[in-house]
Amino acid sequence: MRTLSAAVLVCLGSAAAAGAATTWDVTVGPGFDFSPSGLIIQVGDTVRWTNAGGIHNVQSDSGAFSSGAPASNAWTFSHVFQSAGSFPYHCSAHGAPGGIGMAGVVTVQGGGGGGTPGSLRFSSAGYAVSEAGGSATITVQRVGGDDGAVGVDYATANGSAQSGSDYVATSGTLSWPAGDDTPRNFQVQILDDSLDEANETVQLMLSNPTGGAVLGSPAAATLTILDDDEPTGAPGFLRFAAGAVSVSESAGAANLTVVRDGGSTGAVSARVATANGTAVAGSDYVAVDQSVVFGDGDAAPKQVAVTILDDAIEEPAETFTASLSAPTGGASLGSPSTATVTIADDDVPAVCIEDAHTLCLNQDRFRVRVTWADFQGGTGQAFALPYTADSGFFYFFGPDNLEILIKVLNACVPFERFWVFFAAASNVEYHVEVADTQRGQTKVYDNPPGVYAPATGDTDAFATCP
């Protein structure tokens, strides 16, 4: 995402007409930029893009407007902005949604007392329902503003579940009047059967926000239909419910959930044992080595609490692992059978001090550190490379192999938030820790091993303005 300096926020673009409505000009190309890349305009104003060279187009991130396919002729495209909000866009040939590559943003003020319509998103990236549950309730939130009436379309699509046999396809529109940010729900009807099968998934999507609202994150989610037709005589599989768990140093305990699926015949058990990573038993947590037991017919999840030890030492986020082993009663181990627990340090200093492993961003207010673990069991702290006042890089194994680009942006005006954006070119396990040294708040972002890291944009990261 491109950021706007204080000077740019005062006046951007060139006005081609004065009066109640203004036309603002943006030059496209001839390189790989929109000039200016950021505009602040009023409701009813027009933005006119003119191609100065190269194969380009204008494509709204949300699909609200488009100049068509990329073209090299001297084209001109105009769009009238009728509602307040933030409208990011990009060139589909040289950029992508989220401010990646050739991108810009139009911020529209007015039309509702200077507020913002907010963003629309699912309340969770994942939902679950029993096959016998009848229906799943899916919640959509309006966050970051409630100025004006807004709406958004929702729809389902097949994952491994098939509409007509596993669920009933649905689509529609959710609406909010001005001043209303109450969550909205829609239902997905589930069709029960007597087949013993794996859990199945339905894809959920939001699209076409209206009234100046934008899509938040997540705008796509997964509904998992949990099969309730157990095979006769099957003892099932034992696994952790999640392969990565984050907990604050002051939380008291990290709760690991062990689930039994694929059958519940007979009594079964498995051993749960912890092992040090960068966190050390006795000083950071209390080691666990115990059995988890399920009785005959028992498929209720079991909790294993690992005590977390708090201290007054300012340190990076630390990790340890918990592993399942030695299943009994004919049970097998499912996946994941190992979980990584990240302990987020809550001893945030009043001042960020930059060092080889620390970035100090946004006027040195936010301290950023990264830890990693590779596939051979190696762990370490990432090395920091400052870049701008708001951004920097991290590398794990060598300065020529940059792994993560991260930035912390001041969006207090008008969004009352500090934003965190980062992207990684890696599939190793890592943990990004961002701490607000003025307010003592910390957020940790985890990437499990073997997963190619998605780009992350957290526009609700820190409600700690100013």
CATH number of 141's domain? 2.60.40.2030
What does the pLDDT read at residue 12? 35
Structure tokens at 129: 């329902």
Percentage of residues in the chain with pLDDT exceeding 70? 92
Q: Is 415 helix (H, G, I), strand (E, B) or coil?
A: helix
Instruction: Tally Cβ neighbours within 10 Å of residue 429.
Output: 24
Least confident of 48-52, 159-163, 191-195: 191-195
Residue 16 lies in a domain: yes
> For residues 55 and 227, what is the distance between their CA atoms, to the nearest angstrom?
50
What does the pLDDT read at residue 4? 35
Residue 231 lies in a domain: no
pLDDT at 10 over 70: no
What does the pLDDT read at residue 395? 97
What does the pLDDT read at residue 113? 40
Q: What average pLDDT does the segment 214-242 reach?
A: 83
Least confident of 45-49, 96-100, 406-410: 96-100
Assess whether 222 and 243 both reside in one domain.
no
Assess whether 180 and 206 both reside in one domain.
yes
Q: What average pLDDT does the segment 290-314 reach?
A: 90
What does the pLDDT read at residue 115? 62
Q: What average pLDDT does the segment 264-287 reach?
A: 93
> For residues 149 and 133, what is the distance between their CA atoms, to the nearest angstrom?
34
Burial 252-275 (b: 16+ CB within 10 A, else e): eebebebbbbbbbbbbbbbebebe
> For residues 213 and 75, what is the distance between their CA atoms, to the nearest angstrom?
28
Least confident of 27-36, 227-236, 309-318, 322-331: 227-236
Residue 352 lies in a domain: no
pLDDT at 178 over 90: no
Count of domains forming the chain:
4
The residue segments making up the domain with residue 418 are 359-462
Q: Find, among 134, 303, 164, 299, the residue nearest to 231 by Cα.
A: 299
Residue 1 lies in a domain: no
3-state helix, strand, coil in the chain (%, to 5): 0, 50, 45
Q: How confident is the model at residue 100 (pLDDT cuts 50, 70, 90)?
A: confident
Q: What average pLDDT does the segment 361-371 reach?
A: 93
Assess whether 338 and 248 both reside in one domain.
yes
pTM (predicted TM-score): 0.41
Among the candidates 204, 226, 248, a domain finishes at 226
Q: Kindly list the distances between the CA atom of residue 215 and the CA atoms of 37, 67, 79, 287, in Å, as whole numbers in the listed order.
A: 20, 20, 20, 43
> For residues 125 and 451, what is the distance between their CA atoms, to the nearest angstrom?
16
Among the candidates 81, 109, 137, a domain finishes at 109
What does the pLDDT read at residue 13? 36
Residue 350 lies in a domain: no
Q: How confident is the model at residue 230 (pLDDT cuts 50, 70, 90)?
A: low
Q: What is the mean pLDDT of the chain?
A: 86
